[in-house]
Amino acid sequence: MKAQRVEMFVCPSATPADTSGLQKLADAGKITADTLVALVGKTEGTGAHDDWGRVWADVALREWTARLLGVPVDEVARHVIFVLSGGCPGVITPHIAAVPREWVDVPDGSGGGEKRPVVGRAGPAAIAPEEVGRMGQIHKVAEATRQAMKDAGLTEPRDVHLVMVKVPGLTTGSIKDAESRGKTVVSHDLTFGPEGAGAYANDAAALGVAMALGEVPEASLSDGVVRRNWDLYSEVAMTSSGGEKRHGEVVIFGNSSASRSSLTIGHAVTRDFIDAQGVRNALRAAGLRFKDGLPDEADLQRLVHVFAKSVIPGSDQVRGERITLLDDPDAYQIGKALGGMLVASVTGRTTNYVSGGERNSHQGPPGGNIVAAVVRVG
């Protein structure tokens, strides 16, 4: 019987194109062409859609990975999933987390021990422009989520702690394509604004995950609820969309008793934008030891990584008091920075994955956000 041994290594980046940390991991044999399944990172730059820091990082990381794998650059995507989130405002250290997955032989029936991380992937699955932000996309992401669970060897939704999804958005070109075939699209706004195609794409992806995991009953879903009914949400879906993409991809992190990993993973949600307790709960869920209500300083060295969303709230009220964030032209940038601070003030480090950029989302409860944590065992 084969069992997974999943690892996660976090490399700070000195520049967007810095691959020296990855190279050291490769040199040490910690990641190989056979084991590398995902690169997840925060890249410095504007965080806006013409963020050349992110684009450069993507180019440089793909070139590096192509060399590692010995394949052409345009085939890298078939082997390794890239999730690069642009923008490190405030106290978010630019970094890349490499996720290798090894298959080790274990005696049959040797499972049943403590649950440890496994990773699964699915995709690419084609999504048509007219499906973006609608039930078509929801169904396809749900299906990919189920496949990724299978790839991970996960059967129970409650064992899933983080689902990263990348889906197509819309572009002028893909809208023309759809309309030339007599189809409509969810929005002509190509931004991530409240009625933007990017936001609809992200949110339909989140609902797809929620449907697959049973967080939301299928019967409650329809085109009309996307970005309308905020009571429908996933507690584990972190999604992103790119206009240029035509396919969806999913990478899933869960816990399985069949895993031989030396890590644990857990998640929680914040209930509002200033809820440090939600972050602490994620660390607790991942097995970190606490002392006097706070993470035990000595145990924090076991913390491998934190993944958090920082969607800004749709309301101008936090615990009954007015804030002006929604009126701020830099709301998304500042919202992302605030999420970084909320996590860093709890973990005591700045190397956290915090992505943001939307206002309201089906990723996490209304006003709150998703936090997942990975902790090393022993």
Q: How many helices (H) and strands (E) does the chain have?
A: 7, 17
Residues 194-213 that bind its own copies (CB under 8 A): 194-196
Cis bond upstream, residue 124 (ω within 30): yes
If the CB atoms of residues 26 and 312 are measured against its own copies, the closer one turns out to be 312
Structural element, H or E, at residue 49: none
- One DSSP character per residue, 89-116 reads TTT---EEEEEEEEEEE--TT---SS-E
Say whether residue 349 binds its own copies (CB under 8 A).
yes
Binding residues for its own copies, rule CB under 8 A, total 68
Residues 84-113 that bind its own copies (CB under 8 A): 88-94
Instruction: Report, in Å, the least distance between residue 53 CB and its own copies.
Output: 4
Per the CB < 8 A criterion, the answer to whether 39 and 96 are in contact is: yes
Residue among 105, 113, 319, 377 that touches its own copies (CB under 8 A): 319
Q: What angle do CA 149, 256, 35 make, to 5 degrees?
A: 70
Residue among 136, 193, 242, 366 that touches its own copies (CB under 8 A): 193
Instruction: Report, in Å, the least distance between residue 120 CB and its own copies.
Output: 30
| Cα separations in angstroms, 307 against 14, 38, 243, 336 | 20, 14, 24, 13
Residues 108-167 that bind its own copies (CB under 8 A): none
Per the CB < 8 A criterion, the answer to whether 72 and 323 are in contact is: no
Residues 40-59 that bind its own copies (CB under 8 A): 44-46, 48-53, 55-56, 59
Residue among 35, 136, 318, 366 that touches its own copies (CB under 8 A): 318
Q: Which stretch binds its own copies (CB under 8 A): 102-110, 119-127, 156-164, 268-276?
A: 268-276
Say whether residue 73 binds its own copies (CB under 8 A).
no
Judged on CB neighbours under 10 Å (0-12, 13-18, 19+), 335 is: buried
Active site residue 140: no
Instruction: Report, in Å, the least distance between residue 273 CB and its own copies.
Output: 6
DSSP at 298: G
Tokens of 60: 């440089």
Say whether residue 33 binds its own copies (CB under 8 A).
no
Instruction: Report, in Å, the least distance between residue 216 CB and its own copies.
Output: 21
Residue among 241, 333, 355, 361 that touches its own copies (CB under 8 A): 333
Catalytic residue among 42, 115, 140, 166: 166
CA dist 294 and 303 (Å) reads 14
Residue among 351, 355, 363, 369 that touches its own copies (CB under 8 A): 351
CA-based nearest residue to 152, from 122, 193, 127: 122
Active site residue 240: yes
| Cα separations in angstroms, 133 against 166, 182, 200, 281, 355 | 13, 17, 4, 31, 20
Per the CB < 8 A criterion, the answer to whether 220 and 65 are in contact is: no
Instruction: Report, in Å, the least distance between residue 251 CB and its own copies.
Output: 25
Instruction: Report, in Å, the least distance between residue 157 CB and its own copies.
Output: 30
Residue among 103, 222, 330, 377 that touches its own copies (CB under 8 A): 330
Active-site positions? 166, 240
Q: Which residues bind its own copies (CB under 8 A)?
A: 12, 14-17, 44-46, 48-53, 55-56, 59, 88-94, 187-191, 193-196, 227-228, 273-276, 291-294, 318-319, 321-325, 327-330, 333-335, 337-338, 341-342, 344-346, 348-351
